A and B are shown apart, each in its own frame.
Chain A
Amino acid sequence: MTAKKYWAALITVTLLTIPGWGTASETNDQTLSPYFHVKSGESGGEDFPLQSTRVEARVSGVIADVRVVQVYQNRGTEAIEADYVFPGSTRAAVYGMEMQIGERRIVAKIKEKEEAKATYEKAKSEGKSAGLLQQHRPNVFRMSVANIMPGDTIQVELRYTELLVPEEGEYEFVYPTVVGPRYSTKTAGTAPPEENWVANPYLAEGEEDPTGFVFHLDLEAGMPVQDLRIPSHSIHPEFPSPTSARVVIKGKPDRDVVVQYRLSGKAIQTGLILHRGEGPEAENFFLLMAQPPERPASTLLPPRDYTFVLDISGSMSGFPLDTAKALLRDLIGSLKPEDTFNVLFFAGSSFVLSPQPLAAHPANIRQAIEAIDRQRGGGGTELLPALQNALKLSDGREVSRSIVVITDGYVNVEAEAFDLIRENLGQANLFSFGIGSSVNRHLIEGMARVGRGEPFVVTAPNQITPQLRKFVAYVSKPVLTGIQIETPGFQVYDVEPLTHPDLFAERPLLVYGKWKGNPGGNIHIRGVNGEGKFEKTIPVFPASTAKDNPALRYLWARARIKELGDYNQLDHNDERVREITNLGLTYNLLTPYTSFVAVDEVVRNPDGSPKHVKQPLALPKGVSNSAIGSAVGTTPEPSEWALMALVAFFLVYLVRRHRRNAHVGREA
């Protein structure tokens, strides 16, 4: 190789390192993470563009229609773009958005995600006020409002509908108010842009949140309401009539609003709802809610092996971990002597109580409880390695196996977790307990769904006992297995879900779908429970269409989207992505691949470059500052460019040394 080639190579390499000269610290290799809000210190700046959120929910029968109004204000002296990450119900079908600026009301259009973003960015650069609503998770959304001028008040309204499905005769309406801080190992340089929502500012524990929150719920059950409770807030509902109730909450958005109620006589509303579309090409929809059989009184219970997976990360520190410990103590205490168990603790890493499953003897139970009591919350939330270890734990015995995961779910690897569970679960069942005032319900519900188990959420210590009782009943006595549904005489198509998982909870069977022709015939439900074969027939009456139910369109489409994408990791070339996009565009629904965009055509900011402001969020109630992890040090490597500069230097040294040695050798 000639000297010219050497020098050419070295010069090329040295030129490649120029961008890294003088920068010794890591930038793009830093992981995405939430951070504490720091006041900008600029006079005339607007740090909290979201002034208030007003929620108006109407529950009619089993369908809830919710209107959320977010008010953005700019009390500063320069135009801003507000960015607000907020949660939603995992079952929400978001079907509409409107923006109001002064007297002007703009109805948002649903577009393919990239197209909507491009429309929004173009409007922003042209100085127009615009709103963009995107979905990052089934329960995490982001509202961006561009060109909020000084003194402006802009109202953005979004609407969604969801189905309330009772469990053990109890209905629950949940309105989440804050997205908890998420632990992420994805780096800022390599994570896709849609994951950047994780890097959001949070207010420190105890810091005042200036954002207002008002919640109204009007319930019209159609049957007498009894035992209405609001475990999340200390307020009293009003009862305008025996079949209706009203809940009003005014406060801070720092915890989920949870409203639970039963109907008199422990009745639940079941039956068939039909909707006939209008026009020659219109589609007709149906929703079946079928009463399940009662849980069998007693069955022979085989020995069971339990693996409890307990989250002891920083975000669990304090109240959530104390609650989780109490729950786990009771869970282990409820095991029978012939059962076996193990406990896996995880934060930044994971470790097990015992290399082999332990028999549920008093001595082992005591040992486990002592180990649980010693744990302190701290570190990251490496859920995937923990799940991997838990799924591998097995001593080869042929026993029924249950994995119980206890966490607040503050991670952003939901899709990866679902895939991991789906591919490695084998014959076990996975149950998940979400602990905290604002758990990540998408993760909790998803893990249970793909794990063929059930999710539980414990928001307060007084819920431990009832949730534990439910868990014991679910595991030992499934309600219905091997479920099959047929519809002779009733022409249906596009039915969701295609297959039904085993039913542990006493919850109505749900079937959505489309129908054609004249409604008639029957719907047969078959399965097996602890007492043998189960069969139920529901006749289809044309009179069921007497009442118009347009919400069924949205609910059907949401159910289909859920089956296609909520619990699956999708590549952007996947056919399912195209189908979800088409569903969003056809039925005007917010999905991971379709977004709402509203543009006010009046140019109000000729400069076209508003200051970007992320709305700081309050920490969920009970979550401490260690969830943000500001006090933790790390030891990252030098940047790649700096390493390359060093390598280039030593290459030059190497070449010169080699040439000198070669010259000396020739002279010798």
Chain B
Amino acid sequence: MARLLQRSWDTRWATGEEPDSPPWFHTGAAWLAGLLVAGWPHLQYIAARAVDGSDDPWGLLAFITALFFIPSQVLSEPVPSRFRWAMVILVLPLLVILPAWLVDSALLRAAGWVIAVGCLLIRAGAPPAVAGLLLMSLPVMASLDFYAGYPLRWLVSHSNALLLGILGLPVEASGVVLNWAGREVIVDAPCSGLRMLWFGGYLTLVAGALYRLRWGAMLILSICGFMLVLTGNGLRSFVLFFPESGIVHIPDAAHAGIGLVIFAGIALALIQIAGKFPQGGRI
């Protein structure tokens, strides 16, 4: 049936007849809808993790943002036939059949699906940052908290101890605990900087998508963003050591305000860096 339709379409093209609008099922919108339907279990998984309290809900924001960056012509233009066959042969099995057999983790299966969707969108003209936004839509915060939370906190506490030592304060870092003059300041779970990392990453990718940065530029911008956030989080914890250890006294609201000011600095720096790269054009 598809071959008949394809032949009819090609014949009309060969005879010089101005083709009408492509059949609805050849358009990018139809294929994207098909991919979303094929990945429905993954969408359900992502949505369920966002609302059941086991992970943060911000992934949905990243997903919606990614959809906004799909070029409008991708939706209305026909998908080339070789592309359609590639999707049928490679992508649909990748999305639906193989992962269920081979990969036990729902998160990894969902990751495979968003990568496939991202690659297709980029091939069709979307900026590379869209793939990053789709990956950020996955419910990974709980896993990142578990695996990366403690190493990040350890890094923060030891770098703080070093800096404070340079300033003449004999602070000892014991794991994630800073000891000074019989007092303790703990770099505990909410201090790891993972939230700042997520929002910093989101801003980086939106900037990259808006400026239509190429792969190389996007990679450099992402690395810069990561380093800026890590440094900023360390600086935030360093500054907050003083009120938390009792050396200075500040109002409670100023505690969060310091973190927000530092994050604002990070965001501004990211936008300035993104603006330095060549922009626009087809990727």
Chain B CB within 8 A of A1 CB:
yes
CB nearest neighbor in B for A346? B175
A347-364 CB mask vs B (1 if < 8 Å, else 0) is 111110000000000000
> Closest approach, in angstroms, between the C-beta of A202 and any C-beta of chain B?
19
Contact B241 A635 (CB under 8 A): yes
> Closest approach, in angstroms, between the C-beta of B33 and any C-beta of chain A?
18
Q: What B residues does A385 contact at CB under 8 A?
A: 150
Contact B177 A349 (CB under 8 A): yes
Contact B191 A636 (CB under 8 A): yes
Comparing B3-11, B23-31, B40-48, B259-267, the segment that makes contact with chain A is B259-267
Given known pairs A5-B68, A634-B186, A651-B206, the reply for A347 and B177 (CB within 8 Å) is yes
Chain B CB within 8 A of A3 CB:
no
Query: Considering the chains assembled together, what is the distance between the CA atoms of A437 and B206 in angstroms?
Result: 57
Chain A CB within 8 A of B77 CB:
no
> Closest approach, in angstroms, between the C-beta of A60 and any C-beta of chain B?
48
Contact A349 B191 (CB under 8 A): no
Chain A CB within 8 A of B124 CB:
no
Chain A CB within 8 A of B154 CB:
yes
Q: What B residues does A185 contact at CB under 8 A?
A: 188-189
Q: What B residues does A632 contact at CB under 8 A?
A: 183-186
B253-283 CB mask vs A (1 if < 8 Å, else 0) is 1011101100110011001000100010000
Q: What B residues does A68 contact at CB under 8 A?
A: none
Contact A348 B252 (CB under 8 A): no
Contact B196 A643 (CB under 8 A): yes
Contact A9 B175 (CB under 8 A): no
Q: What B residues does A16 contact at CB under 8 A?
A: 61
Chain B CB within 8 A of A25 CB:
yes
Chain A CB within 8 A of B128 CB:
no
Chain A CB within 8 A of B187 CB:
yes
Chain A CB within 8 A of B110 CB:
no
Given known pairs A347-B175, A349-B174, A349-B175, the reply for A26 and B206 (CB within 8 Å) is no
Contact B207 A637 (CB under 8 A): no
**Which of B53, B196, B267 contacts A637, CB < 8 Å?**
B196
Query: Considering the chains assembled together, what is the distance between the CA atoms of A2 and B184 in angstroms?
Result: 53
Contact B177 A378 (CB under 8 A): yes
Q: What B residues does A6 contact at CB under 8 A?
A: 68
Query: Considering the chains assembled together, what is the distance between the CA atoms of A30 and B246 in angstroms?
Result: 20
Which of A350, A378, A637: most chain B CB closer than 10 A? A637
Pull 21 A–B residue pairs with CB atoms less than 8 Å apart, ordered by A.
A6-B68, A24-B253, A24-B260, A25-B256, A31-B190, A190-B53, A348-B174, A348-B176, A633-B245, A634-B187, A634-B190, A635-B236, A635-B241, A637-B259, A638-B259, A646-B199, A647-B267, A654-B203, A654-B206, A654-B210, A655-B210
Query: Considering the chains assembled together, what is the distance between the CA atoms of A26 and B237 in angstroms?
Result: 15
Chain A CB within 8 A of B71 CB:
yes
> Closest approach, in angstroms, between the C-beta of A658 and any C-beta of chain B?
5
Contact B190 A636 (CB under 8 A): yes
Chain A CB within 8 A of B226 CB:
no
Q: Which of B44-65 contact A (CB under 8 A)?
A: 53-54, 56, 58, 61, 64-65
> Closest approach, in angstroms, between the C-beta of B68 and any C-beta of chain A?
5
Contact B195 A637 (CB under 8 A): yes
> Closest approach, in angstroms, between the C-beta of A344 and any C-beta of chain B?
12
Chain A CB within 8 A of B193 CB:
yes
**Which of A9, A190, A638 contacts B68, CB < 8 Å?**
A9
Query: Considering the chains assembled together, what is the distance between the CA atoms of A71 and B229 in angstroms?
Result: 55
Query: Considering the chains assembled together, what is the distance between the CA atoms of A77 and B236 in angstroms?
Result: 48
Interface residues of B (CB under 8 A from A): 53-54, 56, 58, 61, 64-65, 68-69, 71-72, 150, 154, 174-177, 179, 183-193, 195-196, 199, 202-203, 206-207, 210-211, 233, 236-237, 240-241, 243-246, 252-253, 255-257, 259-260, 263-264, 267-268, 271, 275, 279
Query: Considering the chains assembled together, what is the distance between the CA atoms of A348 and B187 in angstroms?
Result: 10
Query: Considering the chains assembled together, what is the distance between the CA atoms of A653 and B207 in angstroms?
Result: 11
Q: Which of A102-151 contact B (CB under 8 A)?
A: none
Chain B CB within 8 A of A45 CB:
no
**Which of A1, A347, A650 contacts B72, CB < 8 Å?**
A1
Chain B CB within 8 A of A657 CB:
yes
Contact A379 B174 (CB under 8 A): yes
> Closest approach, in angstroms, between the C-beta of A22 and any C-beta of chain B?
10
Query: Considering the chains assembled together, what is the distance between the CA atoms of A287 and B79 in angstroms?
Result: 74
Chain B CB within 8 A of A260 CB:
no
Q: What B residues does A647 contact at CB under 8 A?
A: 199, 202-203, 267
> Closest approach, in angstroms, between the C-beta of A665 and any C-beta of chain B?
8
Query: Considering the chains assembled together, what is the distance between the CA atoms of A455 and B223 in angstroms?
Result: 50
Q: What B residues does A199 contact at CB under 8 A?
A: none
Extra contacts besides A30-B190, A380-B188, A650-B271 (9): CB < 8 Å = A16-B61, A185-B188, A190-B53, A349-B176, A378-B184, A640-B195, A640-B199, A642-B256, A646-B267
Chain B CB within 8 A of A492 CB:
no
Contact A349 B183 (CB under 8 A): no
Query: Considering the chains assembled together, what is the distance between the CA atoms of A661 and B170 in angstroms?
Result: 50
**Which of B187, B252, B255, B263 contacts A646, CB < 8 Å?**
B263
CB nearest neighbor in B for A379? B177
> Closest approach, in angstroms, between the C-beta of A20 and any C-beta of chain B?
11
Chain B CB within 8 A of A639 CB:
yes
Contact A348 B207 (CB under 8 A): no
Contact A31 B256 (CB under 8 A): no
Chain B CB within 8 A of A211 CB:
no
Contact B177 A646 (CB under 8 A): no
Contact A379 B184 (CB under 8 A): yes
Q: Which of A503-542 contact B (CB under 8 A)?
A: none
Contact A635 B203 (CB under 8 A): no
Chain B CB within 8 A of A644 CB:
yes
CB nearest neighbor in B for A633? B244
Given known pairs A31-B188, A634-B191, the reply for A24 and B154 (CB within 8 Å) is no
> Closest approach, in angstroms, between the C-beta of B185 and any C-beta of chain A?
4
Q: Which of A446-476 contact B (CB under 8 A)?
A: none
Q: Which of A617-668 contact B (CB under 8 A)?
A: 631-640, 642-644, 646-647, 650-651, 653-655, 657-658, 661
Query: Considering the chains assembled together, what is the distance between the CA atoms of A639 and B195 in angstroms?
Result: 9
Query: Considering the chains assembled together, what is the distance between the CA atoms of A300 and B106 in angstroms?
Result: 52
Query: Considering the chains assembled together, what is the distance between the CA atoms of A13 and B64 in angstroms?
Result: 10
Q: What B residues does A653 contact at CB under 8 A?
A: 271
CB nearest neighbor in A for B194? A637
Q: What A residues does B183 contact at CB under 8 A?
A: 631-633
**Which of A9, A348, A639, A650 contacts B256, CB < 8 Å?**
A639
Q: What B residues does A655 contact at CB under 8 A?
A: 210
Query: Considering the chains assembled together, what is the distance between the CA atoms of A445 and B69 in angstroms?
Result: 57
Q: What A residues does B236 contact at CB under 8 A?
A: 635, 637
Contact A635 B260 (CB under 8 A): no
Query: Considering the chains assembled together, what is the distance between the CA atoms of A640 and B176 in angstroms?
Result: 22
> Closest approach, in angstroms, between the C-beta of B86 and any C-beta of chain A?
26
Chain B CB within 8 A of A187 CB:
yes
Q: What A residues does B257 contact at CB under 8 A?
A: 24
Chain B CB within 8 A of A29 CB:
yes
Q: What A residues does B56 contact at CB under 8 A?
A: 640
Q: What A residues does B186 contact at CB under 8 A?
A: 348, 379-380, 632-634
Chain B CB within 8 A of A12 CB:
yes
Query: Considering the chains assembled together, what is the distance between the CA atoms of A651 and B267 in angstroms?
Result: 10
> Closest approach, in angstroms, between the C-beta of A636 and any C-beta of chain B?
4
Contact A347 B256 (CB under 8 A): no
Given known pairs A25-B256, A635-B185, the reply for A650 and B174 (CB within 8 Å) is no
Contact A651 B203 (CB under 8 A): yes
Contact A646 B260 (CB under 8 A): yes
Given known pairs A25-B255, A25-B256, A637-B259, the reply for A654 and B54 (CB within 8 Å) is no
> Closest approach, in angstroms, between the C-beta of B37 and any C-beta of chain A?
23
Query: Considering the chains assembled together, what is the distance between the CA atoms of A612 and B192 in angstroms?
Result: 34
Query: Considering the chains assembled together, what is the distance between the CA atoms of A348 and B72 in angstroms?
Result: 52
Q: What B residues does A26 contact at CB under 8 A?
A: 190, 256
Q: In the A-B complex, list the 7 residue pairs whose CB atoms are closest, starting with the nearest.
A: A349-B175, A633-B244, A24-B256, A636-B190, A638-B259, A635-B240, A29-B190
Q: What A residues does B176 contact at CB under 8 A?
A: 348-349
CB nearest neighbor in A for B196? A637
Q: What A residues does B184 contact at CB under 8 A?
A: 378-379, 631-633
